[in-house]
C-alpha cells in the first residue's frame, strides 16, 4: 500500500510538472507570436508612413471625425461614412437572410432523391461558383433588373445572396451529412415525417458544426458587399470614394474604411464563437 501511494504521488508530481512546462511553453509561443505580429505591423506602418513622406503627403486625420457626424445648431447630423455603413449593414443583413434561405433550399435539393432537383442544384452551383462576382453583378443590374423592375438596392442584395448561397448550401449539406445515420434510422423508426426529422433531430446536431464556416460566409458577404458600389449604391465603400473625391484625403479615408470593415468582421467572428460555445454547452446537457 505504501509503495502504491508513493507511486501515485510520484505520478501526480510528474503530471503537474509536465503541465507547468506545457503552460510555460504555450505562454512563450504566444509571446513570440505576439512579438512577430507587432514587428510585422510595425513594418507595415513604417512602410505606409515612409511612402507617404516620400510623396510629401499631408496627413489630415483631424478632419476625419466630421465624416462620421457633425453637430449643427444643436442637431446631430450623421456623416457620409455612417450613412454608408448603415447601407452596408442593411445589405449584409438582407443578403445573409436570403443567402441562408436559398442555400438551405439548394442543399435540400442536392440531398433529395429527385433527379431534376439534384441536376438543377448542381447546374446552379457550377454556374455561380465558376463565374466572377463582378460579372454576375453586371448581369443582375443590366439584364435582370430592367426585366423584373427590381430596384438598385435589391438588385445588389439579390446578387450577393445568390452568390453566397452557393457556398452556404455546401456548408449546410456537409453539416447534415455529418449527422450519424443512426439518428435518421431512429427518427424513421419513430414514424417521424422528414420535415420533423430535419427540424427536431438533424438540424439541432448539425448547426453547431455549421456555425464556424457559416461565420466565414457571413464575413465574406460583408466584404463582398463593397462590390455594390459598382452599380452606384451608396454603401460604405462608395461613400468613402465620394469623400476622397471631395477632399483628396486618400490615405486617411481608405484606412478608416478598412478599419470599419475590420471591426465589423472581427465582431461577427467573436459573436459566432460565443454562439458556438453556448450551443455546444446546451447540446452537451
Q: Which pLDDT score, from 0 to 100, does residue 125 have? A: 92
Q: Which pLDDT score, from 0 to 100, does residue 12 have? A: 57
pLDDT at 267 over 60: yes
CB atoms within 10 A of CB 63: 13
End-to-end alpha carbon distance in the chain: 39
Q: Which pLDDT score, from 0 to 100, does residue 65 have? A: 92
3-state secondary structure of 154: helix
pLDDT at 2 over 60: no
Cell numbers for 209: 458544426
The rounded distance, in Å, linking the Cα atoms of 244 and 262 is: 20
Q: Which pLDDT score, from 0 to 100, does residue 9 have? A: 61
Beta bridge mates, 78: 69
Closest CA relative to residue 132, chosen from 205, 219, 27, 224 = 224
The rounded distance, in Å, linking the Cα atoms of 231 and 135 is: 12
- Considering just the CA atoms, what is the radius of gyration of the chain in Å? 26
Closest CA relative to residue 258, chosen from 269, 246, 266 = 266
The average pLDDT across 188-209 equals: 80
pLDDT digits 0-9 by tens, 23-34: 767 677 777 777
- For the chain, the average pLDDT equals 85
pLDDT confidence band for 7 (50 / 70 / 90): low
CB atoms within 10 A of CB 193: 11
Most confidently modeled of 11-15, 121-125, 193-197? 121-125
State the DSSP code for 79.
-
Beta bridge mates, 75: 72
The beta strand positions in the chain, using DSSP E, are 69-72, 75-78
3-state secondary structure of 202: helix
pLDDT confidence band for 209 (50 / 70 / 90): confident
Q: What angle do CA 167, 171, 172 make, to 5 degrees?
A: 115
Between residues 181 and 170, which one has the greater pLDDT?
170
Check if the beta carbon of residue 157 is closer than 8 Å to that of residue 165: no
pLDDT digits 0-9 by tens, 44-79: 888 878 888 888 888 899 999 999 999 888 888 999
pLDDT confidence band for 16 (50 / 70 / 90): low
Check if the beta carbon of residue 264 is closer than 8 Å to that of residue 86: no
What pTM, to 2 d.p., does this model score?
0.80
pLDDT digits 0-9 by tens, 74-106: 888 999 999 999 999 999 999 999 999 999 999
The average pLDDT across 192-207 equals: 80
The rounded distance, in Å, linking the Cα atoms of 39 and 42 is: 5
Give percent of the chain with pLDDT exceeding 70. Answer: 88
Beta bridge mates, 77: 70
Per-residue burial over 133-164, b if 16 or more Cβ lie within 10 Å, else e, is eeebbeebbeeebeeeebeebbbbbbbbbbbb
Q: Which pLDDT score, from 0 to 100, does residue 111 have? A: 87
pLDDT confidence band for 19 (50 / 70 / 90): low
pLDDT at 1 over 70: no
Amino acid at each position: 500500500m505504501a509503495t502504491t501511494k508513493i507511486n501515485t504521488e510520484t505520478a501526480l508530481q510528474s503530471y503537474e510538472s509536465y503541465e507547468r512546462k506545457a503552460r510555460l511553453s504555450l505562454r512563450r509561443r504566444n509571446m513570440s507570436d505576439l512579438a512577430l505580429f507587432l514587428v510585422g505591423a510595425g513594418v507595415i506602418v513604417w512602410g505606409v508612413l515612409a511612402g507617404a513622406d516620400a510623396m510629401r503627403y499631408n496627413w489630415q486625420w483631424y478632419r476625419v471625425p466630421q465624416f462620421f457626424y457633425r453637430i449643427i445648431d444643436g442637431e446631430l447630423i450623421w456623416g457620409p461614412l455612417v450613412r454608408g455603413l448603415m447601407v452596408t449593414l442593411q445589405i449584409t443583413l438582407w443578403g445573409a437572410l436570403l443567402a441562408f434561405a436559398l442555400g438551405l433550399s439548394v442543399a435540400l435539393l442536392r440531398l433529395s432523391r429527385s433527379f431534376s432537383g439534384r441536376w438543377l442544384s448542381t447546374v446552379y452551383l457550377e454556374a455561380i461558383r465558376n463565374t466572377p462576382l463582378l460579372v454576375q453583378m453586371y448581369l443582375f443590374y443590366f439584364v435582370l433588373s430592367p426585366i423584373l423592375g427590381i430596384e438598385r438596392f435589391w438588385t445588389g442584395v439579390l446578387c450577393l445572396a445568390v452568390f453566397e448561397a452557393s457556398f452556404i448550401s455546401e456548408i449546410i449539406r456537409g453539416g447534415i451529412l455529418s449527422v450519424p445515420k443512426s439518428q435518421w434510422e431512429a427518427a424513421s423508426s419513430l414514424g417521424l415525417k422528414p420535415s420533423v426529422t430535419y427540424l427536431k433531430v438533424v438540424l439541432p446536431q448539425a448547426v453547431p458544426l455549421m456555425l464556424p464556416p457559416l461565420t466565414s460566409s457571413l464575413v465574406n458577404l460583408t466584404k463582398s458587399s463593397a462590390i455594390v458600389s459598382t452599380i452606384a449604391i451608396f454603401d460604405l465603400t462608395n461613400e468613402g470614394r465620394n469623400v476622397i473625391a471631395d477632399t483628396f484625403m486618400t490615405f486617411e479615408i481608405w484606412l478608416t474604411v478598412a478599419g470599419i470593415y475590420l471591426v465589423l468582421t472581427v465582431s461577427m467572428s467573436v459573436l459566432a464563437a460565443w454562439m458556438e460555445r453556448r450551443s455546444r454547452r446546451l447540446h452537451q446537457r
